Every structure is written in C-alpha cells, then in structure tokens.
Structure 1
Amino acid sequence: MQVCESNNMALSDSDLRDVDRDLLEYLLEGRVTPVYARDRMNDERLRDVTSTYLGQRLQRLEEHGHVRNLYDTGLYELVSDPRDNGSN
C-alpha cells in the first residue's frame, strides 16, 4: 500500500470542486471505487461524469494525503477531510 506523505500540501475547501465534495460525502459513508461513485452520482444527481474522471479526482485527493488507495486496487478510503481544515 502506498501512503502519500504530502500532508503539508493538504487541500483546503476552496481548492475543491463540487465533484470532490460529492466524493468526500460518499467516503464519509465508507470506501468507494470510481465506478461506484460514477453510478451513484449519475443516479442521484443526473451528473454526466465518467469513472476515469472520478479516478483522476480521487488520485488528486490521494496526492494531497486526503484519501488512500487500498493496495493500489482502486478502492479508496478517507484519511482526512480537507473541508475540516479550520474554517468553521
């Protein structure tokens, strides 16, 4: 399992796109894959997104230490929520 050591480059809420916020909501409920997130977003919001795009967004969150790709399988879990970075 790869662990990103870029917590010093953590994202803030203003760095996030709406799709990132949706992904974070799903991650609060449990682990997700890009395909699961795509199907759920398309069903709930009628948002036309691809699993490839969602995989890229999850990789960006991983690069900044907010999610972890378990054993490089494409199954992601939340490590830290960038929306909680002190602006409440």
Structure 2
Amino acid sequence: MALDDDELRDVDRDLLDYLQEGRVTPVYARDRMLEEEKRDITSTYLGQRLQRLEEHDHVKNLFDTGLYELVEDPREEVDDE
C-alpha cells in the first residue's frame, strides 16, 4: 500500500529528493543533511525512514545492503484521465 503525500515527514521528503538524484545510504543522507544544515539526525533513524518507504514499495534496498534506490515517488500525482 502506497503512502500519500500527507503521510510523509519532512525528512522523508528530503530522502526522496536525494533518491531522485541517485542511490543513497543512510550514512550518505545523514552526512548530506549535516552539510546542507538541514537537520541533525542519526543514520539509524534515516535507515528506519528508508525501511518505511521500502515497506510501502517506494524504494528498494539493493541486495539488502542498505543502498536504496527510488522505485516510485509518493509525492508525484497520478493523473487518472
């Protein structure tokens, strides 16, 4: 079951932005957020957020290595016409 945009946290949106650019790990995302002065959170928490996105089929954990890639961005609107 896919997530709706209103079910996403700000950190999820940041992760999705990074994933649109390419694959990410929790450590990479943490370091980038610190560098961009967006937020100071742990890679463990980011891993949990990525796992939640994976549970809803928005990202894929490649070979269970902790390297994630985007499958479907829940922020994108689907046109039913």
Q: Report the TM range for the smaller structure's normalisation.
A: over 0.9
Structure (1/2) with the larger helix percentage: 1
**Is 1:37 paired with 2:18?**
no
Q: Which runs of 5+ in 2 are unaligned?
A: none
Q: Following TM superposition, by how much is the alpha carbon of 1:46 offset from its aligned partner in structure 2, in angstroms?
A: 4.3
Q: Which residue of 1 aligns with 2:53?
A: 61
Is 1:72 the counterpart of 2:64? The answer is: yes
3-state secondary structure, aligned to 2:69: strand
Residues 44-73 of structure 1, C-alpha deviations (whole Å, 9 max, x = no match): 024110000000000000000000000000
The answer for unaligned runs of 5 or more in structure 1 is 1-8
Alpha-carbon separation, structure 2, partners of 1:27 and 1:48:
19
**Which digits, 9 at most, give the CA deviation of each residue in 1:25-61, with x for residues without a partner?**
0000000000000000011024110000000000000
Cα distance between partner residues in 1 of 2:10 and 2:78: 19
TM-score (norm 2): 0.93
The equivalent position to 1:20 in structure 2, one of 12, 15, 18, is 12
My pick for the range that moved more, 46-55 or 33-42, is 46-55
Seen in structure 2, the aligned counterparts of structure 1 residues 46 and 85 have a Cα distance that, compared at 3 Å, is: closer
Moved over 3 A (4+): none
TM-score, normalised with respect to structure 1: 0.86
CA RMSD of aligned residues (A): 1.2
